[in-house]
Amino acid sequence: MNIFAKRIAALRAQMQTHGLAAWIAPTADPHLSEYLPEHWQSRRWLCGFSGSAGTLVITADHAGLWADSRYWEQAAAQLAESGVVLHKIGADDDYPEWLAAHLPAGARAGVAADMVSRRDEARLARVLRGKNQYLCCVADLTGAVWHDRPALPATAVYPHPAEFCGESASAKLARVRQAVREAGADTHLLSSLDDIAWLTNLRGSDVPHNPVFLAHLLLDGGHACLFTDESRLNEAARRSLNEAGIATAPYEAVAAALGKLHGTLLLNPAKTAVSLLRHLPERVNICEQTNPSTLFKARKNEAECAHIRAAMLQDGIALCGFFAELEHKLAAQTPLTELDIDTMLIAHRSRRPHYVSTSFDTIAGFNANGALPHYRATAEAHSAITGNGLLLIDSGAQYLNGTTDITRVVPIGTPDAAQRRDFTLVLKSHIALARAVFPAGTPAPVLDGICRQAMWQAHCDYGHGTGHGVGYFLNVHEGPQVIACRAAANPHHAMQAGMLTSNEPGLYRSGQWGIRIENLILAQAVAQPQEHAFGEFLQFETLTLCPIDTRLLAPELLDDTERGWLNAYHARVRDTLAPHTEGAARDWLLRRTEAV
């Protein structure tokens, strides 16, 4: 019996003790974060799957992991020795329906109350109720068997430097309070860490790559309280909170504060754990909607946009140095592996002003590994970069003045015609979105079809979304906007001016290669004549500054408009970066921005 089978067996013993026929282990923490502190990586600990999304379900005779198409190959490989079965979201029943079909009537399924949102609890309970089954939100059973569980983070919480803050915390609080009043609520509970970091203008390092810290925040018309480990607030952070009129209390004290509420409480049901709401008195009414701060922080103001452009400049300078070094080593036949890519990128980026950290784990996938959209090379499993093929590099950085995320593909040796065709199809899709003009308020998922048209005409597609929101020295994945044809076109997904979003179509040949071209794009108003008969329109400004490798092009597949876009983009990249580069980096930049 391997280590994961032993862990699942230990959990099954706990399930039996608590009278549970099933246990649900989501990818979640008490803040419903996408990326988790080590303390809450229970799903990974139980089965070994390291992807950033997925749900593990354990019954007496079955253990299954539900994952979307981004992770199918990765999950299949990582679960091979665990005895856990991969269930493919989109191809198989989702786990609530699977549970309802496989559990007997009267069965009880358990989930940790601090790892399930109010929204997901309602959905799960509804599905199970249809088969006379029950959902039980209980204490996390994993804690009873995970004896060396990592402690909670204990790093310092610090203020985002005033020179980079686009707005004071007190001004942000005033805007949020106004929105709470307009929603008819008296108080507002925030548990999502990026919303709290944005609203307080504080940052931390509790979650790898994301500069956030563990906290809840409760505010009303005249008071605001941050519930966090107060010992971690440095003097500057305490002073900043005091100036904004934000009190502090211990992290655990939020429960008692909720128990004293009256009136109507506004919260986001997708970002609030069931465990917190158990402390609410029955007299409190709940108003459910997206946190006002989520939309406010998604719409970057002019000062933030200027800072982001400056961060993109520094990132572009670093990338010129990196790619010049990479090509030199390849030409010299220096032995390289996928692991070396991350090391080299960090070395170049860390020399740039205001660099803090990576914004996610670097994805450097050579040939077949590039076909795994969320591949990560490890010391135990990685490939040498040698021979002919394609190297996909998806990377990003956190700077005090912005967050970056970029994907490029590099030919290793001589690319063949099929690789050139695939690359050019992805580029055509990328250009289509980059050039899009659309009415303000268009639901972001609708824009996905614009991007995919060239690929669909070639009978090709990709399983992931085309674009995600990006934070401002915050999470690299940020809502509410998402450009994905499979996402619901809800009102809160509306694309608005100031939103920073990725543009990253891809094409993946399983076992062969993967291609993705990603830039960050900023939605901004189109200058229009005085008469606006059809309202305001938006377009995208491409902010990422790095050449797209034209050695992989099949030029005959580009039309004149696409060729013109590519040449104009490369001219802007060259003119912007050339004054800041020298030597091999500048030579590389000039070579890779020649017109096609």
C-alpha 239, offset from chain centre: 31
Model confidence band, residue 90 (pLDDT cutoffs 50, 70, 90): confident
With CA atoms as reference, report the closest residue to 515 among 450, 560, 460, 448.
460
β-bridge pairing 467-469 and 478-483: antiparallel
CA distance 345 to 407: 13
Read off the tokens for 497.
Answer: 């001016």
Read off the tokens for 136.
Answer: 């039980």
CA distance 113 to 254: 16
In this prediction, residue 374 carries a pLDDT of 83
What is the per-residue pLDDT across 409-457, written as a single tens digit (0 to 9) for each?
A: 999 999 999 999 999 999 999 999 999 999 999 999 999 999 999 999 9
Q: Are the C-beta atoms of 297 and 179 separated by less than 8 Å?
A: no
In this structure, which topology does domain 3-145 adopt according to CATH? Creatine Amidinohydrolase; Chain A, domain 1 (3.40.350)
In this structure, which topology does domain 158-294 adopt according to CATH? Creatine Amidinohydrolase; Chain A, domain 1 (3.40.350)
**Triad 360, 569, 447: Cα angle to 5°:** 65
What is the per-residue pLDDT across 475-496, written as a single tens digit (0 to 9) for each?
A: 999 999 999 988 887 878 899 9
> The pTM is what?
0.95
In this prediction, residue 531 carries a pLDDT of 62
β-bridge pairing 519-525 and 500-503: antiparallel
What is the per-residue pLDDT across 289-325, written as a single tens digit (0 to 9) for each?
A: 999 999 999 999 999 999 999 999 999 999 999 999 9
Go through 330-355 and write b for each residue having 16 or more CB atoms within 10 A of its CB, e for each that does not: beeeeebbbbbbbebbbebbeebebb
Q: Are the C-beta atoms of 45 and 343 separated by less than 8 Å?
A: no
In this prediction, residue 381 carries a pLDDT of 86
Q: Are the C-beta atoms of 112 and 139 separated by less than 8 Å?
A: yes
Q: How far is CA 24 from CA 57, 111, 165, 433, in A?
A: 5, 5, 40, 38
Q: How far is CA 301 from CA 166, 238, 523, 527, in A?
A: 7, 26, 12, 18
Residue 528 has pLDDT above 80, yes or no: no
**What secondary structure does DSSP assign to 152-205, as a single string?**
PP---BEEPPGGG-SS-HHHHHHHHHHHHHHTT-SEEEE--HHHHHHHHTEE--
What is the per-residue pLDDT across 529-538, written as a single tens digit (0 to 9) for each?
A: 666 678 899 9
Q: pLDDT above 70 covers what percent of the chain?
A: 99
What is the per-residue pLDDT across 375-388, written as a single tens digit (0 to 9) for each?
A: 888 888 899 999 99
DSSP reduced 3-state for 459: coil
In this prediction, residue 456 carries a pLDDT of 97
Model confidence band, residue 165 (pLDDT cutoffs 50, 70, 90): very high
Read off the tokens for 207.
Answer: 């979650």
Averaged pLDDT for residues 132-152: 95
The verdict on domain 302-592 having CATH code 3.40.50.11750 is no
**What secondary structure does DSSP assign to 57-90, as a single string?**
EEESS-EEEEE-GGGHHHHHHHTTTTTPEEEEBT
With CA atoms as reference, report the closest residue to 190 among 278, 287, 293, 58.
293
Per the prediction, the chain carries an average pLDDT of 95
Residue 4 has pLDDT above 70, yes or no: yes
Averaged pLDDT for residues 114-134: 95
Q: Report the 10 Å Cβ neighbour count for 414.
A: 10
What is the per-residue pLDDT across 330-363, written as a single tens digit (0 to 9) for each?
A: 999 999 999 999 999 999 999 999 999 999 999 9
- Provide CATH 3.40.350.10 ranges for the chain: 3-145, 158-294
CA distance 499 to 481: 8
182 burial via Cβ count (<10 Å: 0-12, 13-18, 19+): exposed
In this prediction, residue 70 carries a pLDDT of 82
Q: Are the C-beta atoms of 418 and 557 separated by less than 8 Å?
A: no
DSSP state of 587: H
Averaged pLDDT for residues 22-50: 94
In this prediction, residue 530 carries a pLDDT of 61
Q: pLDDT above 90 covers what percent of the chain?
A: 90
Residue 501 has pLDDT above 70, yes or no: yes
Q: Report the 10 Å Cβ neighbour count for 491.
A: 9
Residue 73 has pLDDT above 90, yes or no: no
DSSP reduced 3-state for 521: strand
C-alpha 585, offset from chain centre: 30
